[in-house]
Amino acid sequence: MQKNVQLAKKTLEKGDLVIFPTETVYGLGGDSTNQRAIKKIYNLKKRPLTNPIICHFKNVEHVNQNFKISKIDSLLINLFWPGALTLILQKKLSSIISPLVSNNSDLVGCRIPNHPIAIELLNNVNFPIAAPSANIATKISSTHFSHISDNLKKNSFILKSGSSSLGLESTVIQTFNNKIEILRLGSITIEELIKKIPDIKIEIRNKNSALSPGNQFKHYSPNHPIRLNVKEVRNDECLLNFGKNNLNSKIFEYNLSVKGDLREASKNFFNYLYLIDKLECKGIAIAPIPDYDLGRTINDRLVRASY
């Protein structure tokens, strides 16, 4: 792997792109200080420039070189980094990160991933890596190498690994003096945040924020149409099930978690949605999923996928 990481490093330094795994989803990465590389990401993904890109860092010191970190930011960093938390931070005037990363805003999503290959790659380059998920804009996020489109693979250097350990994207947060706002629901839930920081007010504001990726009305979408919270499955539909119930498909079904475990369901979610979308059917029926903890994040993705 070290040889491939060195090749990936050279690819990034030339302004080209690298597909690499993280604990959340696979990323399509480029040098965050290179405007040409950032344009390549947007063009290859067919992503609108108004949809910002998260920057990935090797350590907190590297973040501090580029961004202002508040007291609440530091608290969250100590609790959740490395990991599936993205913080919206304000650029310092000295930062050389491309303004294209955040649609010319000085507020940028930043995180330190918790995956050995991602960490090794970041430790071998001298710049943060801008990396959205390795998928075509609005389509299903890639949690396994097999999910990634041929066009993305053909135009990138690839660091290959297995399935993502979490299966849902990072939680995006913006902090203020006396509260934090969740701009994108993700792998770190509001319940987990409340448990760890009970004295800080937390609000969910994941509706069309220009500061966070993943907030478009249409996102995470399969090619087949989907129906949510079904009470019955039509004859021409496949079923994405959850838990034990009386639902069944005459064609095929995947069950996110037979035992009703939301953590297991979140890990399986994008993979099963990808696999079921490959089947011959007219649509995908989605079983009801509890709207709390990671179920709230899954339901957020499903609502956008069904738009």
Joined tokens for residue 136: 């075509």
Selecting from 3.90.870.10, 3.30.70.980, 3.40.50.300, 3.30.750.24, what CATH number does the domain 2-204 have? Answer: 3.90.870.10
Please, which pLDDT band fits residue 146 given cuts at 50, 70 and 90? very high
Q: Is pLDDT above 70 for 17?
A: yes
List, by residue range, all CATH 3.40.50.11030 domains of the chain.
Answer: 226-305
E strands of 74-222, at which residues? Answer: 85-91, 107-111, 129-130, 157-158, 171-175, 179-184, 201-204
Q: Is pLDDT above 90 for 154?
A: yes
List, by residue range, all CATH 3.90.870.10 domains of the chain.
Answer: 2-204
- For residues 12-20, give the mean pLDDT: 98
- On whether the 226-305 domain is CATH 2.60.120.10, my answer is no
- Tens-digit pLDDT profile for residues 72-114: 999 999 999 999 999 999 999 999 999 999 999 999 999 999 9
d(CA 128, CA 126): 7
Q: Is pLDDT above 70 for 141?
A: yes
Average pLDDT, the chain: 96
Alpha helices in 169-293 (DSSP H): 190-196, 262-277
Q: By C-alpha distance, which of 224, 285, 220, 291 is closest to 255?
A: 285
Q: What percent of the chain has pLDDT over 90?
A: 93
DSSP string across 130-154: E--BSS-TTB---SSGGGS-HHHHH
Tell if the pTM clears 0.85, that is, is over it. yes
Q: Is pLDDT above 80 for 283?
A: yes
Beta carbons within 8 Å of 176's beta carbon, 6+ residues apart: 72
Q: Is pLDDT above 70 for 208?
A: no
- Tens-digit pLDDT profile for residues 253-262: 999 999 999 9
